Amino acid sequence: MQVSLWMHEKPYCVTANDRLDDVARAMAEGQFRHAPVVDGDSLLVGMLSDRDIREHKGYLSTTRVSAAMVEPAITIGPDDPIEQAAYLMRTHKIGALPVIDAGRHVIGIVTETDLLDGWLDGIGHGEHVARIDFQFRGPDQSFAEVLQIVERAGGAVLGLGTFQATRDGSGARRFFVRVTAPHVETIVDALRQSDLLVDAVQHQSVRQN
């Protein structure tokens, strides 16, 4: 999924010359925790969070945004996948990313909460998420076949991969598929009926109605 599908358009922006007490008040009233910092042409120059503001507690009315903002800001584009946004947030330990166009104009903001909502939406109400470890029995079996089996069984594939089952690398490589479905057991049965060897099933998450 693209960032544009989950970002908040036209976010509250501040300038480097704004006072921190005014920004803190706006954040409290609007119930948000991050604000892109822009110049007079709406070009991104930095990022400000409520945590940055708290570091100047006691001096908010006399401190400008320029003294607290983080620059340069870590950014994301509207056409980038949300997985990239999640990677950047985790790597840089930040809670939000300003979304910019090719000219560095701020067109939105995406937060950790937005990404979580997007991930949960992809799972669907009442569906289970599981990782199924398996092995191919024959040379003609492939991931394409696994995808078809999962879809025919009423599930959706969230990811595919391979791993080494032994630390010294002496064993055969194993494979896994992460799926979401109302009934994961139906998918497991379908894989086994297609002559795939299912080694393990790990139920990873459940979303309740």
Find tokens 């960032």 and name the residue.
Answer: 3
pTM of the model: 0.59
Question: 31 φ, ψ to 5°?
Answer: 60, 50
Among the listed residues 173, 203, 174, the one whose alpha carbon sits nearest the alpha carbon of residue 188: 203
Given a cut of 50, is residue 207 above it in pLDDT? Answer: no
Q: How far apart are CA 112 and CA 102, in angstroms?
A: 23
The pair of three-digit structure tokens given for residue 158, joined into one six-digit string: 């969230």
If you average pLDDT over each of 57-66, 111-120, 123-132, 171-180, which comes out highest?
Answer: 57-66
**Confidence bin at 53 (pLDDT 50/70/90):** very high
The domains spanning 3-119 and 124-206 adopt the same CATH topology: no
Provide the CATH topology of domain 124-206: Alpha-Beta Plaits (3.30.70)
Mean pLDDT for 76-101 is 90
Q: pLDDT value at position 185?
A: 93
Mean pLDDT for 56-85 is 94
For the structural domain made of 3-119, what CATH number should be given? Answer: 3.10.580.10
User: Would you tell me the crossing angle of helices 82-92 and 112-123 to the nearest 10 degrees?
Assistant: 140
Q: pLDDT value at position 5?
A: 84
Q: Of 16 and 128, which is predicted with more confidence?
A: 16
The whole-chain average pLDDT of the chain stands at 87
Q: What is the pLDDT of residues 119-135, one digit of tens each?
A: 655 555 556 888 999 99
Domain ranges in the chain are: 3-119, 124-206
- What's the gap between Cα 182 and its chain centre? 23
Contacts 24+ apart (CB under 8 A), 26-30: 27/53
Mean pLDDT for 181-189 is 91
User: What is the percentage of the chain residues whose pLDDT exceeds 90?
Assistant: 58
Mean pLDDT for 17-22 is 97
